[in-house]
Amino acid sequence: MNSGKVLLGILAGAAAGALLGILFAPDKGEKTRKKIAKKGEDYVDSLKEKFDDFIDNISVKMDEVKEEVSDFAEQTKTKVSEAKKATKTANG
């Protein structure tokens, strides 16, 4: 999660820098507003893409953990079954 916060901080800093750069540029107000809107859209699109990648990575990790837990449960069942058979054989 710390890398996500760092990424968000970098994106926010870049957005703030770009916004300040545009605001202090010597363009007309209408042109400046259009530039701000375009930059905002670009940053939103970039953030959405990074968020989707993050969600995909989390989904992959969750699937891996689920599979590992399932394998562990199956191994445990097998060991319990073998222990029961061994107990029955020993009590015979």
Residue 4 backbone phi and psi in degrees, to 5: -65, -40
CA-wise closest residue to 83 among 75, 62, 31, 42: 75
pLDDT digits (tens, 9 = 90+) for 24-68: 777 777 887 788 788 888 888 888 898 888 898 999 999 999 999
Q: How far apart are CA 40 and CA 15, in angstroms?
A: 8
DSSP assigned state of 24: T
Give the chain's length.
92
**Domains of the chain by residue range:** 2-91
Residue 16: how many CB atoms within 10 A of its CB?
10
pTM across the whole model: 0.48
